[in-house]
Amino acid sequence: MKGPRCVLANRLSEISYWNILLIEAGGDENALTDSPFLNIYTHTKEFDWGYNTTIQPRACRARQGQCNYPRGRVLGGSSTVNGLMYVRGNPYDFDNWEAMGNHGWSFKDVLPYFIKQENVSTTDLPRDVHGFNGPQSVQFQRHVSKIADYYYKAGEEFGFKFIDYNGLHQIGIGPAQVSMVGSTRASTAKGYLNPIRKRKNLHIVKHAEVMKLVFEENTLQEEKKRVLGVIFSHKGVKKYVEASKEVIISAGAINTPKLLMLSGIGPKNHLRGLGIPVIADLPVGNNLQDHLCVPVYMQVNKHIGIRDEEVFSRKAIMRYTKNKSGPLTTNGYEAIVFVNVFDPKSLLQNVEWYLTSFRMFVAENPANIKENVVAPIVINVNPSSIGTVRLNPLKPQGPPLIDTNYLGADEDMLILREGIRLLFDFFSTPTLASLKPQIYFKEFGNCVQFKNMIDQLIDCIITQYSATLYHPVGTAKMGPKSDLTSVVSPELIVHGFENLRVIDASIMPKITRGNTNAPTIMIAEKGADIIKFSYHTKSTY
């Protein structure tokens, strides 16, 4: 979940005579979440739900097949702990949503909400498709390493066009657009919530977990059921709060289906097996989609990136704390590439590269900090594999069973395989070849036996070292009621209910071809307007 709660709290509390209650399981951000580089160190109990996937037979094998699955447990949600990337996706993604029966969700319909959210701080981007006055700060990296010049020169040699990938076309290479303000993370808590916390009609309860929905009994047999309110736990005490108008679930693609199912909304056979009374038989928890990524560690012969020792040095820490400068102010993504590995002429990307300046995932293997290693990340942004979220029969209130079904579709393996092959070709361009790049086998110990067998090596790297890019979506799918695989309507109302909505990444019917933070904010912006329109209201603040 990428922080749509903060967006909704802001936009709905604009109606001064509406009382808005925001229930948040976590607490506030702090200095650790503020640093762009330290995002992987926020995956702790203080900020993260601590989830893992079920055993995946074809992915994450270096972790015995159980992929780490961070989800933000903090104000701002995963926008407070993610990699800061701001990527809208491809216009086709949203036109496809509409083609699936979701009227009002085409690119022309959602573009105004991307523009509305953005506060772009560079004049290098076109004003007709970008926003410059919104709450969500977007900018280019302030700290740029020397290797960035190598990447862009190699891109030119490789035939890539230089792009604004948040414009109308995505195929090519361009600088990372990040959710930052100056040298600090720009979460939705900072952009949307902090400026309006003192509104008298906005109430925030932190460190509180919603346990289940409470329904109006005399409506349970009717075509449109009503939710009365929610039961939540706050500091060990169960409490009940009643909604005067609506209950909006905005807990993300993992916790939203968990809450719905605990409340009796979900697949009837699954719920009955757990002894949960079925309120509504809906395909909640199905349609789980995510972006699987593979870091490709490469050692180069020049110190033109960021060494681990530089990031964790006293000098780097002092630079950051005193004047917000240095390597701690970057997420390390020097350039972004979008490409279709099957058809170079296609306008629809299926692979994204993060071209990095340092060795990613250093927290998991901090050795060899003085070597010149970079780790471009290859991402399948158009996966076909579909997974599920289910309650754990042993402890339904505990962490859910997250089966991502990574690489369940053969095409997903092929996309990653070709994405890595193309990356190797990219590193063979004259500019990058001058760095004498070599695969860094100290990070690929489980695959060293395939050192001289490129096909087997690539497959081994994918199955052993793949990981989530932290983009789960789709588990409360949006669609017309005639679509029996859908959970919510295009107005984001749960099918069969009058006053229950879901507004978060779980409603995406198909995952976007890029990072999901920006589309999730868009969903919340549009969702807030849908609610206001349904009550014929306008902002009074």
Coil/strand/helix, residue 243: coil
Report pLDDT digits (tens) over 11-67.
Answer: 999 999 999 999 999 999 998 898 888 877 788 888 999 999 999 999 999 999 999
Tell me: is residue 502 an annotated ligand-binding position: no
For the chain, what is the largest distance between any 2 Cα atoms, rounded to a whole number of angstroms?
A: 74
Q: What is the 3-state secondary structure (H, E, C) of 480-514?
A: CCCCCCCCECCCCEECCECCEEECCHHHCCCCCCC
- Mean pLDDT value of segment 495-506: 98
Position 378 scores a pLDDT of 98
In which band, very low, low, confident or very high, does the pLDDT at 369 lie, cut at 50, 70 and 90? low
Which pLDDT tens digit goes with each residue over 52-67? Answer: 999 999 999 999 999 9
Please give the structure tokens belonging to residue 122: 């560079």
Q: What is the pLDDT of residue 359?
A: 73
Could you give the 3-state DSSP secondary structure of residue 105? coil
Q: Is residue 365 scored above 70 in pLDDT? A: no
Mean pLDDT in the chain? 94
The closest of 536, 493, 462 to 246, measured between CA atoms, is 493
pLDDT at 113: 99
210 marked as part of a ligand binding site: yes
pLDDT at position 360? 60
Q: Is residue 181 within 8 Å of residue 36, measured between CB atoms?
A: no
Tell how strand 401-403 and strand 388-390 pair up. Answer: antiparallel
Q: Which residue has the higher pLDDT, 521 or 363?
A: 521
Mention the CATH class of domain 142-175+292-380+408-465: alpha beta
Look up residue 54 and give its DSSP letter. P
Per residue in 453-469, pLDDT (tens digit) is: 999 999 999 999 999 99
Backbone angles phi, psi at 444, to 5 degrees: -120, 45
- Element containing residue 318 per DSSP (H, E): helix 314-323
Catalytic residue annotation = 471
DSSP assignment of 341-401: SS-TT-SS--EEEEEESS-TTGGG----TTS-EE--EEEESS----BEEE--TT-TTSS-E
Helix or strand run (H / E) with residue 266: strand 265-266
CA distances (Å), 307 to each of 101, 105, 145, 438, 444, in order?
49, 44, 11, 17, 19
pLDDT of residue 1: 41
Q: 331: which 2 tokens?
A: 């997420």
- What average pLDDT does the segment 280-286 reach? 99
Spell out where 429-495 has E strands.
438-439, 467-468
Domain ranges of the chain: 1-32+68-135+187-289+472-541, 142-175+292-380+408-465
Asked if the domains 1-32+68-135+187-289+472-541 and 142-175+292-380+408-465 are classified in one and the same CATH topology, the answer is no
CATH number of the structural domain 1-32+68-135+187-289+472-541: 3.50.50.60
Residue pLDDT, tens place only, 176-227: 999 999 999 999 999 999 999 999 999 999 999 999 999 999 999 999 999 9
Residue 362 binned pLDDT confidence (cut-offs 50, 70, 90): very low
Q: Which of the four pLDDT bands, split at 50, 70 and 90, describes residue 364? A: very low
| Lowest mean pLDDT segment, chosen from 12-16, 55-59, 73-77, 471-475 | 73-77
